[in-house]
Amino acid sequence: MTEAGVGLEKLLEQVRAGGGVPRHIAIIMDGNGRWAGERALPRFMGHRQGMKSVRRVVTGSLELGVEHLTLYAFSKENWSRPPEEIGALMRLLSEYVERDKEELAEKGVRVRVIGDRSSLSPAALRAVESIEGTTAAGGTLALNLAISYGSRDEILGAARILAGRCLAGEMALDDISETSFASALYTAGSPDPDLLIRTSGEMRVSNFLLWQIAYSEILVTPVLWPDFGERDLYEAALEYQRRERRFGRVTR
Ligand code: IPE
Ligand code: IPE
Ligand code: MG
């Protein structure tokens, strides 16, 4: 990218001066396994390193003034990975929560875990409830952590919620709107992502936020997640500022 030689602070200034910082950034954090493989390390080490990138993007988002950050940490489909890898990922989650929850709370970050909690182990569920409880009062950055998350699953859940309300006579069929549907999704309360980033070069969405990304700008970077840092986030924000969002309109 063209900003490669620019210092981090300068880059941050450039983004701030550019105006139009994305309100909501969503990230598919991919490439941990390849990062480890390139170094002949076990996959787990890639996930451990990836946790540091999570810290960096949270810091970078706070610096930028991003209001919502949604991170895809573990998909429904990831349950089909070897049990040792799943175990390691869940332990990393607990470790992250224990290490960072107080600091996140101090910085005004409010964490919400989105996904199917019923499939989490008791220890993982405790970690989820603990970080949500500790950070509940945060008002600076809303951090959605997608864990055991599947977008089709989320959409079906919303359909069931609304159908249930209709059957119970609490709402009419005509009340099923984009707004009421969105408010039955896990992401209720967050605006749709302005920018969706996927690391490691894969050009797919892997069952992430299918409803919510209808008009998101998409950025795929070859950088592997464990190598992703503030600089990459700021460069992504600059790229976002260069995009012309049309929402179907004719603009010139
Ligand atoms: C992303 O890295 C982390 C999770 C999906 C949990 P991967 O583990 O998918 O890494 P690659 O894609 O194999 O490199
Ligand atoms: C998507 O990455 C899920 C997360 C980043 C948590 P995957 O590595 O699981 O996606 P695929 O299998 O390459 O599509
Ligand atoms: Mg992957």
Which bound ligand lies closest to the C-alpha atom of 31? Answer: 1
Which pTM was predicted? 0.97
For residue 202, report the distance from its CA to the centre of ligand 3, in Å.
8
Using one digit for the tens of pLDDT, what is the confidence trace for 8-51?
999 999 999 998 999 999 999 999 999 999 999 999 999 999 99
Catalytic residues: 30, 78
User: What share of the chain has pLDDT > 90, as a percent?
Assistant: 96
Q: What is the mean pLDDT of residues 140-165?
A: 98
Check residue 2 and give its pLDDT: 55
Strands laid side by side in the 68-75 sheet: 109-114, 141-149, 68-75, 24-28, 195-198, 217-220
Q: Which of 27, 32, 96, 204 to mutate to test the pocket of ligand 1 (most atoms within 8 A of CB)?
A: 32
Whether the pLDDT of residue 231 is over 90: the answer is yes
For residue 8, report the distance from its CA to the centre of ligand 2, in Å.
29
Which bound ligand lies closest to the C-alpha atom of 223? Answer: 1
Which bound ligand lies closest to the C-alpha atom of 147? Answer: 2
Q: Which of 200, 203, 220, 227 to mutate to test the pocket of ligand 1 (most atoms within 8 A of CB)?
A: 200
- Which domains can be identified in the chain, with CATH numbers? 21-150+191-240 (3.40.1180.10)
For residue 1, report the distance from its CA to the centre of ligand 1, in Å.
24
| Ligand 2, atom nearest to 206 Cα | 14
* Ranges 17-21, 112-116, 188-192: which has the least confidence: 17-21
Q: What is the mean pLDDT of residues 115-136?
A: 97
| Ligand 2, atom nearest to 146 Cα | 6
Position with higher pLDDT, 138 vs 4: 138
Whether the pLDDT of residue 237 is over 80: the answer is yes
Long-range CB pairs of 96-104 (<8 Å, 24+ gap) are: 96/51, 96/54, 97/127, 97/128, 97/130, 97/131, 98/127, 100/55, 100/131, 101/130, 101/131, 101/134, 101/135, 102/134, 104/58, 104/131, 104/134, 104/135, 104/138, 104/143
Which protein residue's CA is at the shortest distance from atom 2 of ligand 2?
30
Helix, strand, coil percentages (3-state) for the chain, rounded to 5, are 50, 15, 35
Using one digit for the tens of pLDDT, what is the confidence trace for 195-218?
999 999 999 999 999 999 999 999
Whether the pLDDT of residue 3 is over 70: the answer is no
Whether the pLDDT of residue 122 is over 80: the answer is yes
Using one digit for the tens of pLDDT, what is the confidence trace for 83-104?
999 999 999 999 999 999 999 9
